Amino acid sequence: MDYGIEVRDQEAVVRLRGRLTFNDHAKLRTLIGEMAQNPARRQVLDLSSLEFVDSAGIGMLLIAREEMANANKQFILRAATGQVKRVLTVAQIAKIVPIED
Amino acid sequence: MTLGATLPAAVRTRFDALHGPAMAGSRLDRLAQSLGLPAVPADTTPPVTARGGSVAAVFDGTGGADADALWLPPFAAWIETVDADDGAAALAPLMAAAAAADLYVNLSTGTAHDLQLGSRLLAALAARHPLATERRDDIELALHEAVSNALVHGNLGVDGMKELSAAELERFSRDLGDRLADPRLAARRIAITVRIDRTDGSKDGGGEDGDCEDGGGPIAVVEIADDGPGFVPNAVQPGAQPGAPQPDHGASGRGLALIGTIADGLEICDGGRRVRLRFRL
């Protein structure tokens, strides 16, 4: 998995690319740190270029959400497609994290 | 690949050649000779055999296993040698296991960890049986989850992320790194057999998965075995929403439930060291 962050006025958009699996633990640690550090109140994860996510990937997204809540930041998932959208639905993540189209 | 119906049950795949994508020619020749097979040199692409049969790929450690073409026909087995100093004697029983399956993988944890094996297996399976996009995605996820469980929790003994915190992610990350760096744990094996059957024969059914659908279509039976201490699965509650978030769930623990929603059968065998998944194709 790779990612890029674009910080605008109120919103940081993190675009994830590729496959997000248990193997990406180090990158997620860094990413969560970067999201906590930047000044934007809204942290949006753009999933439109993410091709695959596994259960550990979902878990790491939930950890990111928890850490953002601790930092008083909003955490939003956006534009999931294909397999990623399917897994988010099956795991009922929308009950925990706001998901935007 | 053969479907078994025309061959004795013990032999489902006949190998015509051995390919060592990153192996010295002399070593590959020696291994091939010990098995009575011709060697396909490393620089032959694609490795077509004279008889058009299946090819087994062998590796010494991590090199050469990540080329996409290596996971498509004619390849039907992917085996890491057990002892790089010799390996010939140890290879024979693994090749016998491969011959009894339609697809066979036997790798060390260190090699398998970086390989995205779920995706590789899916490619090998889809090349033999066409799958609709959603079914492809689902089966890939189930295979990936089962492989990850075998490697991370089984062979490496790393606990899942129990709490939703960066500290717990850090602990997981550190444990995984430490265990992978332990040569004894990294050498533990993962073995995967795939059998594709025209119908869901009841002979190797476990019974408890309770699949009573009419067994008309082809089915893939995938067994994934690790060298870890095994595990005791949580009781599956009938009617429970699989994969749904539960109050006591941390960041981990959804894998087996996801597998359960996707697979048409899930059995846990050998005290948790082996899982058997069935997928209607």
- Give the residue extent of every domain in chain B: 15-280
CB B40 within 8 A of CB B49: yes
HSE-CB for B26 with a 13 A CA cutoff:
2
What is the band of B169 on the pLDDT scale with cuts at 50, 70, 90? very high
Q: What is the pTM of this model?
A: 0.89
Entry field: residues in chain A? 101
Query: Interface pTM (ipTM) of the complex?
Result: 0.94
Rg of chain B in Å (alpha carbons): 19
Q: Is A58 in contact with A87 (CB distance < 8 Å)?
A: yes
Residue B183, preceding bond cis, omega within 30 degrees? no
Region of residue B270 (phi > 0: left; psi between -120 and 50: alpha; otherwise: beta): left
Instruction: State the CATH architecture for B15-280.
Output: 2-Layer Sandwich (3.30)
More confident site: B228 or B47: B228
pLDDT above 80 (res A56)? yes
- Best A34, A54, A61 residue to mutate vs chain B (most B CBs within 10 Å): A54
* Whole-number pLDDT of residue A18: 97
Mutate to test the interface with B, among A54, A55, A70 (most CBs of B within 10 A): A55
User: What confidence tens digit (pLDDT) does each residue in A38-47 have?
Assistant: 999 999 999 9
DSSP codes, B209-265: T---S---S-EEEEEEEESS----PPPPPTT--TT---TT--S---HHHHHHHH-SE
pLDDT band for position B248 (cuts 50, 70, 90):
very low
- A59-78 residue pLDDT tens: 999 999 999 999 999 999 99
Per the structure, the count of domains in chain A is: 1
Per the structure, the complete domain to which residue A55 belongs is given by: 2-100
What CATH number has the domain bearing residue A74?
3.30.750.24
Higher pLDDT, A10 or B83: A10
At residue B234, the pLDDT reads 67
CA distance B69 to chain A (A): 20
Residue B200 reports pLDDT greater than 60: no
Cβ contact (<8 Å) for A21 and B116? yes
pLDDT at B40: 82
What 3-state DSSP class applies to A11? strand
Q: What is the percent of chain B where pLDDT is above 90?
A: 62
Are the C-beta atoms of residues B124 and B140 closer than 8 Å to each other?
Answer: no
